[in-house]
Amino acid sequence: MTTDSVKGGDGTTTDSVKGGDGTTTDSVHGGGGTTTVSVHGLGYVGLPTAALFANNGYTVYGVDTQPDKLERLRTDGADFREAALNDYVDRVLGTDALHLREHPVESDYHLICVPTPFDHDREAADLSYVRAAAEGIAPKLRPGDTVVVESTVPPGTTANVVGETLERNGDLLRETFNLAFCPETVLPGSILEELRGNDRIVGGIDDEATAAARDLFAGVVDGDIHTAPDAATAEFAKLAQNTHRDANIAIANELAKVARDHGVVPRPAFDLANEHPRVDLLHPGPGVGGHCLPVDPLYLGQHSDHVALIEHARAVNDGMVYYVRDLLEEGLGSLAEKRVAVFGLAYKGNVADTRNSPATRFVETLGETPELVATDGGNVVDVRVHDPHVAEAGVDLWSQSAALEGADALVFMTDHDEFTELDPETVAERMDDNVVVDARGLTDESWHEAGLDVRRL
Residues 444 and 335 in one domain: yes
Out of 238, 257, 338, 348, pick the active-site residue. Answer: 238
d(CA 306, CA 108): 40
CB 226 within 8 A of CB 251: no
Out of 113, 182, 292, 338, pick the active-site residue. Answer: 292
pLDDT at 187: 85
Q: What is the CATH number of the domain that holds 27?
A: 3.40.50.720
Q: Map residue 414 onto helix, strand or coil.
A: coil
Residues 66 and 197 in one domain: yes
Give the residue with greater pLDDT, 118 vs 89: 89
The whole domain housing 419 covers 311-456
d(CA 150, CA 127): 13
Amino acid at 382: D
Residue 448 forms part of a structural domain:
yes
Residue 238 forms part of a structural domain:
no
Residue 253 forms part of a structural domain:
no
Alpha carbon distances (Å) from 257 to 194, 250, 311, 314, 411: 34, 11, 18, 16, 17
d(CA 413, CA 340): 12
pLDDT at 372: 53
Measured in degrees and rounded to the nearest 5, phi and psi for residue 93 equal -65, 135
Residue 380 has pLDDT above 70, yes or no: yes
Closest CA to 109 of 214, 232, 238, 235: 214
Decide if 238 is catalytic: yes
Residues 52 and 172 in one domain: yes
Give the tens place of pLDDT for each residue, 313-333: 999 999 999 999 999 999 999
Domain end: 207, 229, 251, which one?
229
CB 179 within 8 A of CB 159: yes
Residue 69 forms part of a structural domain:
yes
Residue 121 has pLDDT above 80, yes or no: no
When pLDDT is averaged across residues 58-84 and rounded to a whole number, the result is 96
Cβ burial 84-107 (10 Å sphere, 16+ → b, else e): ebbebbebbbeeebbbbeeebeeb
Residue 151: exposure state from Cβ atoms within 10 A (0-12, 13-18, ≥19): buried
Give the tens place of pLDDT for each residue, 9-64: 333 333 333 433 333 333 333 334 479 999 999 999 999 999 999 999 999 999 99
Residues 6 or more apart whose Cβ sits within 8 Å of residue 438: 412, 447, 454, 455, 456, 457
